[in-house]
Amino acid sequence: MYFPNASLFQTYQKINHEVDPFDAIDFVERVAWRMTGGAETISDPVSLKNKFEEEIGSLQMLCDQFQSKISILEHELNKEKREYINQLQKLYERNAEAIDKVKQLDATMQSVSTKVVHLGDQLESVHQPRQRAHDALQLIQHFDEFLSDQPLNSMIFTDPDKLLESADLVQKLYSISQELSKEKFAAVQARIAHR
């Protein structure tokens, strides 16, 4: 802070070093004591008046300087406040956009998951008949093995680790063979029953 004269600087120092709340009467008494050099009586009241007027002028200049500094700081504060509010507004808008995108993504994910479940159901409905057709084909091929006079050479009948699968297959073939004519398929029925 700029001080055009020593008196203003002294005044500033006195005010600036105040620890307690400012007391105008006490301040005037201290200024008067400083101007009179601590004398009990005033010998030259006109001189004291002039010094007080100088001191008042110094205080007025000091007040003007402080007011100018306060105005600058308030202006800077308002500017920063506006920038902060603008920044918050932009962040709020970006956050709102992000929330909208998340909602859209969620809706899309739900739509896709519904379609995937539906597609899975359709695949399952196609797969089941296909699996049944495959199982029927396997049964027919194994039944054909029993129809021929050749030894059974399918892996299911020759691999000892597939004994349970083989037993299940033989049981199915036995059920099928029992529904066939005994005169035409007696040999196959006997071969399946023996197995």
- Is the pTM higher than 0.95? The answer reads no
Handedness of CA 91, 97, 98, 103 (dihedral sign): positive
DSSP for the chain, written as a single string? ---SSHHHHHHHHHHHT--SPP-HHHHHHHHHHHHHTT-SS-S-HHHHHHHHHHHHHHHHHHHHHHHHHHHHHHHHHHHHHHHHHHHHHHHHHHHHHHHHHHHHHHHHHHHHHHHHHHHHHHHHHHHHHHHHHHHHHHHHHHHHHHHSSSPP--HHHH-GGGHHHHHHHHHHHHHHHHTS-HHHHHHHHHHHHH-
Supply the pLDDT for residue 3.
Answer: 47
Q: How many domains does the chain have?
A: 1
Of the candidates 6, 61, 54, 52, the one whose C-alpha atom is nearest the C-alpha of residue 31 is 52
Question: What pLDDT is stored for residue 11 in this prediction?
Answer: 54
Flag whether 82 is in a domain: no
**pLDDT for the residue 178:** 83
What confidence score (pLDDT) does residue 17 get? 53
pLDDT value, residue 92: 96
**Cβ 170 vs Cβ 179: under 8 Å:** no
Residue 99 lies in a domain: no
| Domain, as residue range, for 161 | 127-194
pLDDT in tens, the chain (195 residues): 444 555 555 555 555 555 567 677 887 788 778 777 777 777 777 887 888 888 888 889 988 999 999 999 999 999 999 999 999 999 999 999 999 999 999 999 999 999 999 998 888 888 788 888 888 888 888 778 877 777 777 787 777 887 788 888 888 888 888 887 778 777 777 777 777
Q: Cβ neighbours of residue 32 under 8 Å, at least 6 residues apart?
A: 48, 52
CA 195, CA 69: separation in Å to the nearest integer? 109
In a domain, 181, yes or no: yes
In a domain, 17, yes or no: no
* 14 domain residue, yes or no: no
For residue 117, what are the CA distances in angstroms to 52, 107, 153? 94, 15, 42
Separation of alpha carbons 39 and 184, rounded Å: 150
Residue 39 lies in a domain: no
Q: Which of 8, 1, 7 is nearest to 61 (CA)?
A: 8
Is residue 27 situated within a structural domain? Answer: no
Residue 156 domain-assigned (yes or no): yes
